[in-house]
Structure 1
């Protein structure tokens, strides 16, 4: 980091680029396959209004962003039951794939070294035709 970066900060675009370079980000199809074939834990960090508007990914653990570190720390007192160990593949999904990248890197800091996120987030998941439930405008439950 340059002296200028240290005094003025990176800016969000540079920070996001730097942190994403440390992730093996997944397409929606790869994320779905990781859940089905590898037992990955899909974690939806979208806030309630977005979940109500667009629906849910079946089987995803819902943990709003402001609780993520407390719920995902395998050694923490407030961890989710699905958070079993530091080696589990955790795939974070937000609305469009921005906040999830930073969230996945935060999970790395907790020792969840396999944490990653979904490129394009929930919106890309739904656009790919992957399962979504509770979407108000989708007659077959898909967004």
Structure 2
């Protein structure tokens, strides 16, 4: 399990150190490897970018769009608000944000829910696009229906 314990008393942890600590336990994937895993049926890409970025840059075809504030509710296989794709704790989830920072923290959160294969995409959507992988431009999908009382 990823070590996300607080720093020793009296020593705050900055975001750079926190990212380094959580990434040490993630098997982060590069864009081409993520693409291959999805094509082989071994991974679910989950796009957590907010709507303005999806509208500006487009979507990864086949990615599940779940905005960050609903991620845990949608991907928890035991949750009452889970997405149909949240089939079990063995599901390999590859979280995609814009540049690969927020996705690392989101993957750790999913691991805390028991999704032990959760990880993230190195470089995020921008790396995917730079690798020349498929992007649907001008077809920004809305995130799932809002969850009552979940922000």
TM-score normalised by length of structure 1: 0.89
For 1:4 and 1:89, how far apart are their aligned partners in 2? 29
Q: Which runs of 5+ in 1 are unaligned?
A: 137-143
After superposition, the C-alpha distances for 1:27-77 in whole angstroms (9 at most, x for unaligned) are 000100111114311000000000000000000000000100111100000
1:80 aligns with 2:71: no
* Paired residue secondary structure (2:9): helix
1:30 aligns with 2:33: yes
Match in the other structure for 1:92 = 95
CA-based RMSD of the aligned residues comes to: 1.8
* Paired residue secondary structure (2:37): helix
Q: Which of 124, 128, 132 is the aligned partner of 2:131? A: 128
Shift of 1:5: 4.3
Structure ranking higher in helix proportion: 1
How many correspondences in the alignment?
Answer: 135
Shift of 1:134: 1.6
Shift of 1:4: 7.0
Q: Which runs of 5+ in 2 are unaligned?
A: 140-151
Q: Which of 19, 23, 29 is the aligned partner of 2:22? A: 19
1:45 aligns with 2:48: yes
For 1:119 and 1:13, how far apart are their aligned partners in 2? 15
